[in-house]
Chain A
Amino acid sequence: MSDKKGKPVPLANEGLPPGERGLFCDAPPREYAPAAKIVEDFWNWARSQSLWILGFGTGCGAIELRPLMTSRYDMYRFGIQPRPTPRQSSVFVIGGYASVKTLKRIVRSYEQMMGPKFVVALGSCTINGGMYWDSYNTIKRIDQYIPVDVYIAGCMPRPEALLAGFQELKRIIRAGKAEGQNLYARDFERYKANQKRVIKDWNMPDYNW
């Protein structure tokens, strides 16, 4: 916030002051080839059975995560549990509409997550803007900015729908199709361009993990 009024912050990490260079990565993300078939299958099974959700309630969909965590729907049964830090979590649940201000945090949190990472987007508003199609502050398609694995439609999706969505995510992971991290690395330029088009005061480094 403080550097907003001052000089424009250089975008690429080469321009960072020397003191801050060490805080950020200085290489663009790269794609990771999957391991040998049988190993990767086993790992994918483990990944699908241990989904750690980043505890970041980005929108009103977060209110249905509470019942999901608690005893009525109990997502722990399926190996899903919340995790407060992006470094350790593997699933990012976009809880509905994302305002531009939140999108900035979403991008940052997403990039800080360790791969393979998965994104579940809740609600109609992440798919095509939903109810806020003419709002000046909410984006309409979240998949323009980060890769999305599963959409759960509804306003808002019920906990049962969320559970079904997570089962679908597990199926995708086990089939080895949830390669959001590699997609992001492959189309890094495009995603960054999209993000910068929307986030007008881009005051963070490009590689911020």
Chain B
Amino acid sequence: MRELADMLSGRYGAREWHDQRKDLSSVTVDASKLRDVLTWLRDEAGYAHLAFATAVDEIERKVFRLTYTVHNYGTAHGILVHCEIDRDRPVMESIHRLWGQAWTYQREMREWYGIDFPGSPRVDEEFVLEGWEGPPMMRRDFDSLAYSDATYAERPGRETRDPAAYMKEKLYPEADA
């Protein structure tokens, strides 16, 4: 694995190589180099299988961290390739020409996080939602409970308790006293 890490950092300036398990590593590259890195991994290094692509909202650092997971069946080794893009202007290069299923992941990220992938097929269509008017709902600042309470009628009688406090009250009532 060492030589692959060196190769990636030498060629594409990859950094933060980390071996999570013996069959899983992660690496971070610049967003502008991501497509080159994935192409190289696919064509030259044998990482021909794209398992999935997704995004993580790092709201504190104002970035979206994208994760592309590629897998090499020959060596049974997978790499999580990360790149970070600006949270306020989320635009990313599309990789739908590299893998036939990538456009669905990009469509999902477009709808769930609002990340744009210019040129990706059907990227502006709705994916799982229909008639959604709120902000992209997987962003950390979207509050699911508040939206649900405001939109959907509730049946009276349902109580929500904090599990820790309720357990304490029910099981160890003397602890408070």
Contact = CB atoms under 8 A, between A and B. Distances in A.
Within the complex, are A and B direct neighbours (CB within 8 Å)?
yes
Contact of B144 (A128, A135, A139, A144): A135
A101 B154 contact: no
Contact of B158 (A104, A128, A202): A128
B73 interface: no
Q: Classify chain A's interface size.
A: 20 to 34
Contacts of B130: 100-101, 104, 201
Interface in A134-183: 134-141, 144
Interface stretch (B7-15, B23-31, B131-139): B131-139
Interface string A104-138: 10000000000000000000000111000111111
Contacts of A200: 131-133
Contacts of B164: none
**Interface size bucket, B side?**
20 to 34
Contacts of A129: 148, 152, 154-155, 158
A198 interface: yes
B158 A198 contact: no
Interface string A173-209: 0000000000000000000001001111110000000
Nearest to A134: B145
A22 B46 CA distance: 59
Nearest to B157: A128
Contacts of B152: 129, 138-141, 198
A136 B155 contact: no
B158 A199 contact: no
Contacts of A198: 151-152
A139 B154 CA distance: 9
A140 B153 contact: yes
A144 B153 contact: yes
Contact of A100 (B131, B137, B157): B131
Contacts of B157: 128
A101 B129 CA distance: 7
B139 to A, nearest CB: 12
Contact of B148 (A104, A134, A194): A134
Nearest to B151: A198
B131 A199 contact: yes
A138 B142 CA distance: 16
Contacts of B160: 133
Contacts of B148: 129, 133-136, 140
A136 B130 CA distance: 12
A199 B133 CA distance: 10
Given A135-B144, A136-B144, A194 B131 contact: no
B154 A128 contact: yes
A201 B126 CA distance: 12
B128 interface: yes
A140 B154 CA distance: 6
B34 to A, nearest CB: 30
Contact of B153 (A127, A135, A141): A141
Q: Which 9 A-B pairs have the closest CB atoms?
A: A201-B131, A200-B131, A134-B145, A128-B155, A101-B130, A136-B144, A136-B147, A140-B152, A144-B153
11 contacts: A101-B129, A101-B130, A129-B152, A133-B158, A135-B148, A139-B153, A140-B148, A140-B153, A141-B153, A201-B130, A202-B131
